[in-house]
Structure 1
Amino acid sequence: MDSEVSNGSGLEAEHLTDLLVFGFLQSYSDYSFYQELEALGQKLPVRVYLQDQDDELQTDGNRASRYFSQERIEPDSESQEEIIQNIARHLAQVGDEMDHSIHPTLVRHLAAQFMNRNLSEEDRRNCLATALEEIRKTYPKDMETEKAALIMTMLLAKKVADFRPSLLHDVFRTTVNFINQNLFTYVRNLVRN
């Protein structure tokens, strides 16, 4: 099984971050933006698996999930998608331990900035970068800086969407763009390894 993403085969690089952020967000069972996440999953140009809130247990011991597909995917992409989903779940578990370091006031302020329709996408990325800078000193000392920044970026997206579910689409797109600009090499290496 080849999990390379940079050699042109398999999952396209621009969709890797979409799947990672989506998988991270849907790893949480206590979010208030389920309907918005479901709608987002239908718009993504890659396969996504969204667990039902009812989380029905199947006879094989697995949980029921809905499956959305919008485009043709390369033959080895399904295994890559599973790898990305597993990485997203792991990062969400680590994020649970870091969650307390994001103050609710910061989340409310960031949500207010995302509600400002006069801000450009670049302005929103800068707002996200500023929020990350504010919480940088709370990163675990024993964790790689890039890993901590990636988790905190996705945690901020989750918290903003949880605070204001109507912002999910905007905060998702900005988060993906921010990660692609600042942390994509780290994300690509996570998938490769």
Structure 2
Amino acid sequence: MRIISGKHKGRQLLAPKNLPVRPTKDMAKEGLFNILNNRYYFPDLKVLDLFAGTGNISFEFASRGVDDILAVDMHSGCINYISKIANELKMDIKTVKSDVFSFLSRNTEKFDVIFADPFYDMELGEFQKLPSLIFENELLLEDGVLVIEHSKQTNLESIPHFDNSRKYGNSVFSFFKT
């Protein structure tokens, strides 16, 4: 995995092999960040990275000037890796080791961008719970967006607040807005 743009552009990051992750592919990540870059001024953003895994998305945001990032994952190896790399690269990424659904149920902070990259084989009902919790608990700031990454076999278009989706290979980013 590599950082595509910003201060650490081109930097290769090698995550430990024992982490239960599927990092977002560079082509898909580049497409996502092109979309977000046309909509937001990155240094002003407050970002929540759910199912953060290797921190791939958090590192990309931080490299592009975002200094208010919270990464949530339930696997301690993932949280330790994100913290280690963030420290090495002097990135201000806070981490929380928690089940994402429990975190969303108790969190009161609001964010401009919430990115969620759950396991592709997660049940559709679990996918539906993500936007439900986020919008019920009003976790997005004004003009904020929820982005859920999923496989092309999963269709989230019927979920309330769905706005649009973009496909990149086997990955799809579904965008949700208020």
- TM-score norm. by structure 2 comes to 0.27
Name the structure with the higher helix share.
1
Q: Greater Rg, structure 1 or structure 2? A: 1
Instruction: Pick 1 or 2: higher relative contact order, CA cutoff 8 A, min separation 6.
Output: 1
Name the structure with the higher strand share.
2
- TM-score norm. by structure 1 comes to 0.25
